[in-house]
Structure formats: structure tokens, C-alpha cells
């Protein structure tokens, strides 16, 4: 168990460094790293992707709290937008967890790979969102936040890559869109992780020290090391070109996405 915990600490350090270096965290980095780590531990391949996503969501609940608190203290969280998005985010997070439970591991890995490819293309081609538009009405806000919550929980990500553009289009400045997105990630991760813990109950092939699809050694090792190492990555990022970093990270996601699909 000690060797496994040390292995996950290493994964946390690498994942945190990459997340800080490329300015994007959550499951986009953690889930692929966990897939590799869990396979190395000899865990049943039929549940590896589910464990990776469920554990990633639990990690985001912890690590994302500090980010959300920092944005809150700087006044970068738009409470009105957060309140309007909250119901859809919660509903979507439950839906994402339930959908993932019904998908075979091979399909879920393939869909995650496709999702990574789409995110990579978006990073390479998309321009920064332009703020200043009026917020959408409640039906559109509920529909959008439900989709954000569903895809975020389904693939074990914090949701910032989806919610920031929507929040910016809803009238928030880019800084406040990022801050509000960080706050939006907490209910998605918490509800999504709880759903994965419940749907994973009764799986015969779960490893020891698991609660449903939450693998505690991975959670502890990665959560402990990802936050401090992310700060190191952030410092390194300031010495490199942001445009170059964006392209390098997009290429990394393309490679990971292709590997998961193939």
C-alpha cells in the first residue's frame, strides 16, 4: 500500500505541475494520469475509467475549493450568475454520473478521448470570449448549465473549459467568468463524486480502500501533491510564451485523446 501511495503522490506532482504550467487543471490532466496509474496497479480494466473519473471529481472538490475561495476573496465571483446556474449544474452532475455508470469502459474511454480532441481543437482555434452580453433567460441558463454539469461529471473535469465561455457570453468580464467558473466547479465535482460513489457500490472488482468509484489512495496521494506542484508550474509558466504553452497543451491533449480512442 505504501508503494502505491507513493506512486499516486508522483502522479499528483506531475499532474499538478502540468496543470499549473498550462493554466488548466481538473480532470483534463488528472483523468488520463489516473488511467495510466490505475492500469499500472493491476486494477480491473473494466472499471479503471470509472474509478479515474470518480476519483478525479473528488480531487477537484478539494483542490478547487482553494481556487474558488481565492476568486471569492478578490470579488471575482458573480453571485447572481452562480445562483442561476446552480440548479442546472446539480442536475447535470447527477445525470453525468448516471450516464457514465451505464457506459462500458471501452466506450467511456473512447468518448473521453473524443472530448479531449474537441477541447484541443478549441484551444488551437478559438478566440477569447467577448464579454458584455446580457445574461440568458432562466430556461436557456438552466439548459446550458445542465449540459455543462453533465459533460463535466461524465468526464471528471471541473468544467471551466465549458463554463467560462458561457459566463463571458452572459455578461461577466473574463476575470469574473473565470472566478465564477471556479465556484461552479465545486457543486459539479461534489455532486458528481457522490454520484460515482453511489453507482459504484456493489462492484465486485473494486480494489481495496474504495468507496464506490472513489479510490482513496489515489485521492490522498494526488490531492496532497497536486496543489503545491501546480504553484511551481504556474511560476514556470510565467517564463514561457502563453501562446506557445496553449499550443503545447493542445498538442498534449490531441496525443492523449488519440491514444484513448485507438
What does each of the 262 residues of the chain score in pLDDT, given as a tens digit? Answer: 677 778 888 888 887 777 666 656 667 888 888 888 898 888 999 999 999 999 999 998 887 777 777 778 878 888 999 999 999 999 999 999 999 999 988 888 889 889 888 888 877 776 665 655 666 778 889 999 999 999 999 988 877 778 888 888 888 887 788 788 888 888 999 999 999 999 999 888 999 899 999 999 999 988 888 878 877 776 776 677 767 766 777 787 788 788 778 6
Q: 140-159 as b/e, with b when 16 or more CB fall inside 10 Å? A: ebbebbbbbbbbbbbbbbbb
Write down the pLDDT at residue 128. 61
Alpha helix segments (H runs only) across 103-238 = 105-125, 138-155, 160-169, 174-199, 216-237
Question: Is beta strand 210-211 parallel, antiparallel or unpaired with respect to 214-215?
Answer: antiparallel
pLDDT at 21: 67
Is there a contact between 192 and 152 (Cβ–Cβ < 8 Å)? yes
Give the model's pLDDT for residue 77.
86
Phi, psi of 211 (to 5 degrees): -120, 100
Using the 8-state DSSP alphabet, how is residue 128 labeled? P
- The span from the CA of 102 to the CA of 68, in Å, is 31
pTM: 0.85
Cell of 28: 483534463
23 secondary structure, DSSP code:
T
For 24, 63, 71, 171, 184, the CA distances from 177, given in Å and listed in that order, are 15, 19, 10, 9, 10
**What does the pLDDT read at residue 102?**
92
Q: Which three cell numbers stand for residue 229?
A: 506542484
Amino acid at each position: 500500500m505504501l508503494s502505491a501511495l507513493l506512486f499516486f503522490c508522483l502522479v499528483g506532482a506531475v499532474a499538478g505541475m502540468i496543470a499549473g504550467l498550462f493554466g488548466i487543471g481538473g480532470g483534463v490532466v488528472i483523468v488520463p494520469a489516473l488511467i495510466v496509474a490505475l492500469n499500472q496497479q493491476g486494477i480491473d480494466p473494466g472499471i479503471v475509467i470509472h474509478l479515474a473519473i470518480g476519483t478525479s471529481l473528488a480531487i477537484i472538490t478539494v483542490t478547487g475549493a482553494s481556487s474558488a475561495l481565492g476568486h471569492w476573496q478578490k470579488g471575482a465571483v458573480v453571485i447572481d450568475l452562480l445562483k442561476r446556474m446552480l440548479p442546472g449544474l446539480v442536475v447535470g452532475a447527477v445525470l453525468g454520473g448516471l450516464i457514465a455508470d451505464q457506459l462500458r469502459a471501452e466506450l467511456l474511454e473512447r468518448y473521453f478521448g473524443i472530448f479531449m480532441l474537441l477541447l484541443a481543437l478549441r484551444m488551437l482555434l478559438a478566440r477569447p470570449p467577448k464579454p458584455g452580453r446580457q445574461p440568458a433567460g432562466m430556461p436557456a441558463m438552466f439548459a446550458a448549465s445542465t449540459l455543462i454539469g453533465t459533460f463535466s461529471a461524465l468526464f471528471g473535469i471541473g468544467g471551466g473549459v465549458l463554463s467560462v465561455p458561457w459566463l463571458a457570453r452572459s455578461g461577466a468580464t473574463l476575470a469574473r467568468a473565470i472566478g465564477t467558473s471556479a465556484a461552479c466547479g465545486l457543486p459539479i465535482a461534489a455532486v458528481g463524486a457522490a454520484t460515482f460513489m453511489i453507482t459504484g457500490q456493489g462492484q465486485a472488482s473494486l480494489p481495496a480502500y474504495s468507496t464506490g468509484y472513489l479510490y482513496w489512495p489515489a485521492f490522498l496521494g494526488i490531492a496532497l501533491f497536486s496543489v503545491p506542484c501546480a504553484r511551481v508550474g504556474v511560476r514556470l509558466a510565467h517564463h514561457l510564451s502563453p501562446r506557445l504553452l496553449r499550443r503545447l497543451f493542445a498538442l498534449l491533449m490531441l496525443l492523449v485523446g488519440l491514444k484513448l480512442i485507438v
